[in-house]
């Protein structure tokens, strides 16, 4: 067996070395390796010449040995401020991967360049499909980078799934509407609303559900009570202080996720505002923090563990179809949510 050539640093030649040698991107090299039809022939020949010159044969062989379903690799590319949310996803994902005999490869990233680098690492690792938890589930550039090289994508917890990718989600609009109706039923009319990360589609969809709840109850929106958060505990502290420092503060605050709701409750405790007697607070997702803070948080339960499990199953089936040459279309799965009525909400103060 021929030994693979070493690069200038003494390590095994990688897809990035081939890209530098050919003067192209790593994505282009991957498209050539995967025999993607959207590569011009002169460019394909240039890349193949570099592969031959660098003796990049063993890596290609390693990829071909996984042509069957044995050794399926599923990438999870994440950039999420909530560790508890990611932990819940991975709890279900790892369990299902073990059942299916698949391997999960995690890659963390930040901005767009970091996302490109992380995608390159996953491509180099030979992943067969990629799961994108929020907020990357709504990143069109990341989705495009992966689909261009023929890697199937699953968007987890997006509110508006793209037609070319699979998705596992809940109905964020109906969840927010149910929570808003709950507050209104308790007599609240001055309800503050904290938006989440503006790049994540559930942010706007949850806000739309909130607006629908106000509208059907004949309650006019007070735009001064709508503030911008980031789905982080810190932004919950900041926006909670902004709302509660008002001369006419709201009697209830709907935070778009549990971390921000926890921040609001911390501010209220610091101001000696009694929950729920003087202020009702609710969140969204039902992550572990919702049942560990005091009082326990009223929220919308998103079955995150089950969604992580379903995401692995769904992308695994798509990979299986693609490898067998069967017709394959992205699958969209809508899972049920549950309104969790706990002790952080109560009747509006008189």
Tally of residues, the chain: 350
Is the predicted pLDDT of residue 161 greater than 50, yes or no? yes
Write out pLDDT tens, residues 262-274.
999 999 999 999 9
Cβ atoms of 149 and 36 within 8 Å: the answer is: yes
Angle between helices 15-22 and 26-33 (to 10 degrees): 110
Whether 50 has a pLDDT exceeding 50, the answer reads yes
Element (H, E) at 105: strand 103-108
Least-confidence region, from 3-12, 19-28, 242-251:
3-12
Among candidate residues 228, 222, 235, the one with its CA nearest the CA of residue 191 = 222
- Residue pair 338/300 in contact by the 8 Å Cβ criterion: yes
pLDDT per residue over 199-239, tens digit each? Answer: 999 999 999 999 999 999 999 999 999 999 999 999 999 99
pTM: 0.81
Measured in degrees and rounded to the nearest 5, phi and psi for residue 222 equal -100, 100
Domains of the chain with bracketed CATH: 6-58 (1.10.260.40), 72-171+304-336 (3.40.50.2300), 172-301 (3.40.50.2300)
Number of H-type helices and E-type strands within the chain: 12, 12
Residue 257 burial by CB count (10 A; 0-12/13-18/19+): exposed, middle or buried? buried
Q: Are 176 and 213 in contact (CB under 8 A)?
A: yes
């Amino acid at each position: 067996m021929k030994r693979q050539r070493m690069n200038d640093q003494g390590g095994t030649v990688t897809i990035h070395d081939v890209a530098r040698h050919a003067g192209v991107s790593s994505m282009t090299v991957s498209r050539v390796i995967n025999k993607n039809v959207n590569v011009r022939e002169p460019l394909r020949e240039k890349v193949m010449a570099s592969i031959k010159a660098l003796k990049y044969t063993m890596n290609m062989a390693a990829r071909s040995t996984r042509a069957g379903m044995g050794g399926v690799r599923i990438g999870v590319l994440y950039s999420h401020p909530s560790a508890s949310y990611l932990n819940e996803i991975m709890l279900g994902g790892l369990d299902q991967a073990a059942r299916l005999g698949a391997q999960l490869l995690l890659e963390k990233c930040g901005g767009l360049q970091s996302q490109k680098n992380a995608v390159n690492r996953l491509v180099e690792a030979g992943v067969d499909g990629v799961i994108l938890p929020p907020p990357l589930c709504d990143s069109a550039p990341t989705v495009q980078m992966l689909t261009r090289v023929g890697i199937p994508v699953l968007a987890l917890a997006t509110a508006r799934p793209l037609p070319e990718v699979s998705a596992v989600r809940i109905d964020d609009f109906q969840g927010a509407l149910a929570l808003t109706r709950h507050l209104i039923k308790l007599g609240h009319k001055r309800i503050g609303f904290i938006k989440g990360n503006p790049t994540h589609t559930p942010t706007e969809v949850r806000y739309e559900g909130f607006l629908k709840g106000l509208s059907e109850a004949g309650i006019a929106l007070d735009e001064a009570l709508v503030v911008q958060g980031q789905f982080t505990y810190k932004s919950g502290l900041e926006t909670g202080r902004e709302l509660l420092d008002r001369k006419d503060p709201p009697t209830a605050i709907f935070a778009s996720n549990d971390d921000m709701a926890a921040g609001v409750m911390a501010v209220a405790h610091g101001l000696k505002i009694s929950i729920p007697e003087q202020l009702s607070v609710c969140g969204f997702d039902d992550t572990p923090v919702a049942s560990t803070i005091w009082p326990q948080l009223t929220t919308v339960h998103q079955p995150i563990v089950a969604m992580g499990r379903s995401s692995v199953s769904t992308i695994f089936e798509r990979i299986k179809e693609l490898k067998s040459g069967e017709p394959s279309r992205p699958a969209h799965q809508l899972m049920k949510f549950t309104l969790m009525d706990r002790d952080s909400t109560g009747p509006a103060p008189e």
